[in-house]
């Protein structure tokens, strides 16, 4: 039997195990950096199949190794995230979350299940490839500083450095049975902005005695949008949004200060650093020019995510072989963030999407909502395709 056929047969043969694993993880979600039971479950599964691993790494992380023939020849890495979100699940299903207020609403249960499945397949086929597969189960994707950054600090991309890394994420916009790819810039860097504008409050009827922080803030918000429209290159997607303004005065009271919070997202690290300086300077100068002051605090989030064109083309070609060209779609830019981006600035990376939608069965909810769910027919694809992409990287040509 050809290797591709063997992968598909194993993925189909273990479908019930994949579903059971996913349902177990879904029913027992844990918040970021608290994935203790999840980690124990992963370790128990890996042990039962005879796959060696190192744990704990970065708290609750696990790094497994599957050695093929000539294991030093090349290392290729596969990554899954393990954490859930602080959301109360609203689905009425047998595998509903047993931890009230915690839910796998971003599909990380699916990612963990897929990587476990891929590991089992690759372990079974370990005589068919040269080199090694590194299995990275990381904590805390949903919470800064991001488990990926901690895993990298602990050396998961060293000794030796992998030739490439692949991660997959569920996508409820894409029907189950399909997957999506995009080369180059794919997801955004995300920074949080916390701005306090200080003036001098007083009676609203006597503006000459006050320094009005509400008006200063209004000017700052309008002016900062010029950073996006006049300073950012049109070739680099950039978004600035303020979603929170607190000016707690009254119809006849000017407050002492105003607080605003927003998000800045883009897809170029040099521009991101430059934009931080420009925004801060512009806000401070406007406040100063109007007699007030401005504290402009930027909490840096994840970097932007760059899919290596070569690796992404190869992974896409592997997906076409596995699923047929009609089931491999092109992805749009996505201005959300993902900590897989940290890996993408270290080694050749490909982050692709696993379709999980089923309109007929009403499985359409977005990630991060209380009704998010998946069509479980995506599970054998999630496991099998990941294994196949790794095999294509490590096959002897």
Footprint of Zn ion (CB under 5 A): 106
Of 213 and 355, nearer to Zn ion (C-beta) is: 355
Give min distance, CB of 119 to Zn ion, in A: 20
Give min distance, CB of 375 to Zn ion, in A: 17
Of 213 and 301, nearer to Zn ion (C-beta) is: 301
Give min distance, CB of 372 to Zn ion, in A: 10
Closest CA to 154 of 168, 136, 142, 132: 136
Tokens 């009704």, residue located: 371
Closest CA to 55 of 73, 69, 38, 71: 38
Of 106 and 328, nearer to Zn ion (C-beta) is: 106
Of 106 and 179, nearer to Zn ion (C-beta) is: 106
Give min distance, CB of 85 to Zn ion, in A: 7
Q: At what angle do helices 15-27 and 3-13 cross, to 10 degrees?
A: 50
Of 106 and 176, nearer to Zn ion (C-beta) is: 106
First to last CA, the chain: 18
What gap in Å lies between CA 246 and CA 259, rounded to an integer? 5
Would you tell me how many other CB atoms lie within 10 Å of the CB of residue 100?
A: 8
Whether 90 contacts 370, CB under 8 Å:
yes
Give min distance, CB of 377 to Zn ion, in A: 20
Tokens of 352: 């692709």
Give min distance, CB of 367 to Zn ion, in A: 6
Buried/exposed code over 340-358 (b: 16+ C-beta within 10 A; e: otherwise): bbbbbeebbbbbbbbbbbb
Tokens of 393: 């990287």
Q: Residue with the closest Cβ to Zn ion? A: 106
Of 106 and 258, nearer to Zn ion (C-beta) is: 106
What gap in Å lies between CA 53 and CA 68, rounded to an integer? 15
DSSP state at residue 288: H
Which three-class secondary structure string do you get for 35-85?
CHHHHHHHHHHHHHHCCEEEEEECCCEEEEEEECECCCCCEEEEEEECCEE
Closest CA to 38 of 65, 56, 16, 15: 56
Give min distance, CB of 180 to Zn ion, in A: 15
In the sheet with 164-175, reading across from the earlier edge strand, the strands are 52-57, 61-67, 132-138, 75-81, 164-175, 349-357, 179-181, 328-330
Of 64 and 167, nearer to Zn ion (C-beta) is: 167
Question: Which residue stretches of the chain are H helix?
Answer: 3-13, 15-27, 36-49, 108-124, 147-153, 213-226, 269-289, 309-323, 341-344, 378-394
Of 11 and 106, nearer to Zn ion (C-beta) is: 106
CA dihedral 384, 312, 136, 115 (to 10 degrees): -20
Of 254 and 374, nearer to Zn ion (C-beta) is: 374
Of 106 and 386, nearer to Zn ion (C-beta) is: 106
């Amino acid at each position: 039997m050809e290797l591709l056929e063997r992968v598909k047969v194993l993925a189909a043969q273990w479908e019930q195990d994949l579903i059971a694993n996913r349902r177990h993880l879904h029913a027992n979600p844990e918040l970021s950096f608290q994935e203790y039971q999840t980690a124990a479950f992963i370790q128990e599964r890996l042990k039962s199949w005879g796959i060696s691993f190192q744990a704990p790494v970065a708290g609750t992380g696990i790094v497994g190794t599957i050695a093929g023939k000539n294991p030093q020849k090349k290392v290729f890495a596969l990554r899954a995230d393990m954490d859930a979100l602080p959301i109360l699940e609203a689905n009425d299903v047998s595998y509903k979350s047993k931890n009230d207020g915690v839910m796998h609403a971003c599909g990380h249960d699916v990612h963990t299940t897929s990587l476990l499945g891929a590991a089992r397949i690759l372990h079974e086929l370990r005589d068919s490839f040269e080199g090694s597969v590194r299995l990275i189960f990381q904590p805390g994707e949903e919470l800064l500083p991001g488990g990926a950054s901690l895993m990298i600090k602990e050396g998961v991309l060293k000794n030796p450095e992998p030739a490439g890394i692949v991660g997959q994420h569920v996508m409820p916009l894409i029907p189950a049975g399909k997957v999506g790819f995009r080369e180059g810039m794919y997801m955004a860097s995300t920074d949080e902005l916390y701005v306090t504008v200080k003036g001098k409050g007083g009676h609203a009827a006597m503006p000459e005695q006050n320094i009005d922080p509400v008006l200063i803030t209004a000017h700052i918000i309008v002016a900062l949008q010029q950073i996006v429209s006049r300073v950012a290159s049109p070739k680099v997607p950039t978004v600035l949004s303020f979603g929170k303004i607190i000016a707690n005065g009254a119809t006849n009271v000017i407050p002492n200060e105003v607080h605003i919070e927003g998000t800045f997202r883009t897809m170029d690290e040099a521009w991101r650093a430059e934009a931080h300086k420009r925004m801060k300077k512009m806000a401070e100068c406007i406040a100063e020019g109007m007699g007030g002051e401005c504290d402009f605090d930027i909490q840096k989030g994840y970097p932007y995510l760059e899919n290596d064109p070569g690796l992404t083309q190869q992974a896409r070609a592997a997906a076409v072989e596995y699923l047929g060209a009609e089931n491999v779609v092109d992805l749009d830019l996505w201005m959300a963030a993902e900590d897989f981006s940290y890996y993408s600035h270290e080694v050749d990376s490909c982050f692709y999407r696993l379709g999980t939608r089923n309109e007929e069965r009403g499985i359409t909810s977005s990630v991060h909502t209380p009704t998010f769910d998946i069509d479980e027919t995506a599970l054998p694809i999630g496991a099998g395709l990941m294994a196949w992409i790794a095999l294509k990287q490590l096959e002897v040509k």
